[in-house]
Amino acid sequence: MVAVDEGEFVLLNDLPVEDELADLLGTSMVAGELANLIYGSRASTPFVLAVDGRWGTGKSTLMKQLSDNLARRPDVETVWFNAWTASGVSALTGMLKLVLGKLDRNVVRRAFRQLRDNEVLGGSLRIGAGVAASFFRLDRALDQLWAQMSVDARAREQARDLLAQSLGAWVDEQTGQPRHTIVVFVDDLDRCGEATAIEICEAIKLYLDLPGIAFVLGCDLSVLSRISLPGAETGSHVREYLEKIVQVSYQIPVAPEATVATMIQGYAARSGTGHLLTEPLVALIGRQCAGNPRRVKRLLNSFVAEYQLDPRWREFGADGLMKSVLLQHLYPDLYREILRTTGDTVGDLLAYRSARYWLLNHGRQPSDEDVKTGRHHLASYGVLQPSEDDPMEVWERALGQLEGRVPEAWRLLAGNEDCRMLIRDLGPEEERLRLQHRLRRRPLSTTPTPIDTSVADGSRYEGLRLLWIDDSPADNELMINSLAARGAQVRTSTGTRQAMDLLPLFQPNALISDLGRADDEYTGFDGLRALRQAGYAGPALFFTSFVDDGRREGAEAIGAEITASSVRVNEWAEAQAATLS
């Protein structure tokens, strides 16, 4: 553990935790129990244990500690297979090589000789009679076998026979049970390509389903169950297929709040930021990051990098920077709105929240402050203020008018108590204005990693060809990177003319556009009409700063949707990708 001097901040790494003293989630205890289970079940091999969990929840840490625990036990060998580096039949070849590499060379040589003498090894595999006379010749023969496996199904069967024959030397003649066990760890199975994932599953089931071998798979089973399995017509068919592969799964649970708080405080202490996190902020981070260790680390690392890259934050105060990073990571729509607007955007959101509460709770005696703020906010937006004697439909109409004149994202944020707590913690108007002006002059230079909102939920966008039109494409860089990380192809254009040139070359099947450019706040509508006339007939979404009834009606008139929420952009893209699968 690195000691951090007061005022010194350091980055946190993203490696699996191996040291039990550095284990902030109690993973080592679970690893020990799983190791006992696997070790006690050696006579039941072959079997597959899945460590099931979403991105960043600690699967790799658990598997690493489980591997280290098993490696210390007698008659157990462990081996790791990197699914990301495998593709096609190389997955099978690589796994067979790793397993054979854990066996005694004399055992493999004798098995090779016996199979050759029994004419099991032959056909396309041409091996001289003296091949087993030396390890050198054995290596050459194995290399020849691996090379032929990619093109010759017979060679793959021969490799399985060789492995089975070699493992047979471990079997106790009296009990019929293996005396040794190889535990193969395969991490990130859900993060590799579908073809590779299927190849690994086939290797486990068809070629390595042998006594003496156990597998531990690290994956998100909910993601893996959505792969395009040849011959599978429904998701239930894929799940049935996986049930044939996996005998038991351990799902990483959501840690208790107290454990999550300890983890966050521990990471903050290691990064030197512990003194900046109050108990309410720790609780907020824990809820918003869902106890995900990787997300917590990335949030703290963003703060550390920003503090080091921009010395002016030291003059402003680390506390203000931490709250800005929290806004950017946890409430990106609000952060974006702050940068886009002037004045007290945060205060406007708080006022809208009060006005909305007042309108929704008509007749329930809201506080005088809510009534005062609500009336003031309605007046500022030109919404007719209902009187106490007006019927309910008048109040509902006023609420509809108000919500049509504020950023769409505010409707979600207004009911979020965690968001309210964070922005109220920005201080009184003068203090929060100072922070907002600071962000507008110099926005944060670090951004949340796209994987936080993409691969984390497992959805994939292969086949989606998205044309994104915006005269300031840099404003959408984070969302574009997020979509690309999920497999979408994205091309950007700064205007309609450039988009027209891209249309026949890129052939998009989805389109996102801004609405206002320069002095024309509706030019996006004209641009989409022109693209429709040029042949684009696919779905379209306008992503703009705010949505009112007029803008919504204008978008619907030309067969498009409109939103001011980056969350909705991702939902829309996911829906379009789903229609292609």
DSSP track, 305-333: HHHHH-THHHHH-HHHHHHHHHHHHH-HH
Question: Can you give the pLDDT at residue 534?
Answer: 92
How many angstroms separate the first and last alpha carbons of the chain?
47
Instruction: Compute how many other C-beta atoms are within 10 angstroms of the C-beta atom of residue 352.
Output: 25
Please state, in angstroms and rounded to a whole number, the distance separating the CA atoms of residues 433 and 12.
Answer: 31
| Cα–Cα distance measured from residue 189 to residue 21, given in angstroms and rounded to the nearest whole number | 28
541-557 pLDDT per residue, tens = 999 877 878 888 999 99
Neighbours of 539 (CB within 10 A): 17
Q: For position 380, what pLDDT does the model report?
A: 75
Contact indicator for 238, 228 with CB cutoff of 8 Å: no
Cα 318 to chain centroid, rounded: 28
Question: Residue 135 has what pLDDT?
Answer: 44
d(CA 324, CA 443): 10
Long-range contacts made by residues 243-249, C-beta under 8 angstroms, separation at least 24? 244/205, 245/48, 245/201, 245/204, 245/205, 246/48, 246/49, 246/50, 246/217, 246/221, 247/47, 247/48, 247/49, 248/47, 248/48, 248/49, 248/50, 249/49, 249/50, 249/51, 249/52, 249/221
pLDDT of residue 174: 66
The C-alpha atoms of residue 242 and residue 200 are separated, in whole angstroms, by: 12
- For residue 133, the model assigns a pLDDT of 43
Tell me which H or E stretch contains 293: helix 293-309
pLDDT of residue 233: 60
pLDDT, residue 94, reads 76
Model pTM score: 0.60
Show the domains of the chain with their CATH numbers.
Answer: 1-6+255-330 (no CATH), 20-251 (3.40.50.300), 334-445 (no CATH), 455-580 (3.40.50.2300)
- Give pLDDT, residue 454: 34
Q: What is the pLDDT at residue 511?
A: 96
- Counting as low any pLDDT under 70, the low residues of the chain are 1-7, 14-23, 84-89, 104, 111-153, 155-156, 169-177, 227-235, 362-367, 370, 449-460, 474-475, 478, 481, 485, 581
CA atoms of 201 and 203, how far apart (whole Å) = 5
Q: Are 544 and 514 in contact, with CB atoms under 8 Å apart?
A: yes
Q: Alpha-carbon distance 9 to 302, whole Å? A: 11
Give the residue from 328, 362, 345, 357 showing the smallest Cα distance to 406.
345
